Amino acid sequence: MNFTRTRHTARSQRNNKMATIAFYTLGALVMLLIFWLLFTILSKGLPSLRPDFLIKQPEEIDPGGGIGPVLFNSFYILFISLLISIPIGIGAGIYMAEYAPDNRFTGALRICVESLSSVPSIVFGLLGLAIFAEYFNVGLTILGGGVSLALLNLPMLARVTEEAVRAVPGEIREAGYALGMTKFHVIRKVVLPVAMPAIVTGVCLVAGRAFGESAVIILTAGLSTSGEMWDFNLFSPGETLAVHLWYVQSEAIVEDARQIADKSAAVLVFVVLLINFMFRFPLWLGRRRGR
């Protein structure tokens, strides 16, 4: 009996060690792949990147163009999309997690949200094109691009928020109710602070996706800019950095198209990393102060 138990224990420990080695190996391979991709993109674009590249106008024929207007449009459209999607998406996620009754309608709503999260982005681009360019007849605009990106990101943000709120232990809620707090104050003061890291992760995902999106922008904001460096007009065309990168790589006729594409890709990756850092830094700072 003891011999059989010893053999079983030894086999379990051996399997555990093999599984641990396998998972560490897979994790290391994924990390190496990510770092290799980042190094490849950044090493091609950053060495030749100059500050004036970020503020110069793009060129159609002559070499030496920059990305000033398209970089501004990228941040402008990202701001519009997050301004719409963050309050609505987080609010919808809180509703489904805390207020929605457990019935068939809520179940169907969750299925719809999950399904919309996996819809190709070009479908939202076609929807934005139909609404803004055909129904309202305003053409390809910054506003259309921002609203379409917000619609693209809403399902994912709502789903991430719901899962984050549901993951908060029930004991924490009960402690708040025991202190006489209302449901709204429990959510605001107790649940959301605990769920905030996961919600911020979702915001980072949708922000990075919106900043690097091209299909939606091509159909709703266009392939050109107004020609001004800082154009806040919502009804101006709004070519973004991701669209400019695609255009330079595929259709541009300038001599240094390859160099412009490499530098644009490096800036795009760097900005996405910077966005993630900016959203996560306050949480990291708060945890350090909490210690």
Give the residue extent of every domain in the chain.
Answer: 1-45, 55-290
- Mean pLDDT is lowest, of 60-69, 152-161, 181-190, for 60-69
Q: Read off the tokens for 162.
A: 């719901």
- Mean pLDDT is lowest, of 130-144, 223-237, 276-290, for 276-290
**CA dist., res. 219 & res. 233, Å (int):** 18
Per-residue pLDDT tens over the stretch 252-275: 778 888 898 899 999 999 999 998
**CA dist., res. 29 & res. 37, Å (int):** 12
- Which distant-in-sequence residues (6+ apart) come within 8 Å of 232 by Cβ? 76
Tell me the average pLDDT across 210-226: 91
- The residue assigned the tokens 């109710």 is 177
Whether the predicted model's global pTM rises above the 0.85 cut:
yes
Q: What is the pLDDT of residue 255?
A: 83
Per-residue pLDDT tens over the stretch 201-210: 899 989 999 9
**CA dist., res. 212 & res. 258, Å (int):** 19
Output the CATH code of domain 55-290: 1.10.3720.10
Does pLDDT of 103 surpass 90?
A: no
Q: What is the pLDDT of residue 157?
A: 94
Per-residue pLDDT tens over the stretch 131-171: 998 889 888 999 999 999 999 999 999 999 999 999 998 88
CA distances from 207 to 158, 189, 203, 258 (A): 14, 25, 6, 27
Percent of the chain with pLDDT over 90: 47
3-state secondary structure 94-141: HHHHHHCCCCHHHHHHHHHHHHHHCCCHHHHHHHHHHHHHHHCCCCCC
In the chain, the amino acid numbered 183 is: K
Q: What is the pLDDT of residue 249?
A: 85
Does pLDDT of 53 surpass 60?
A: yes
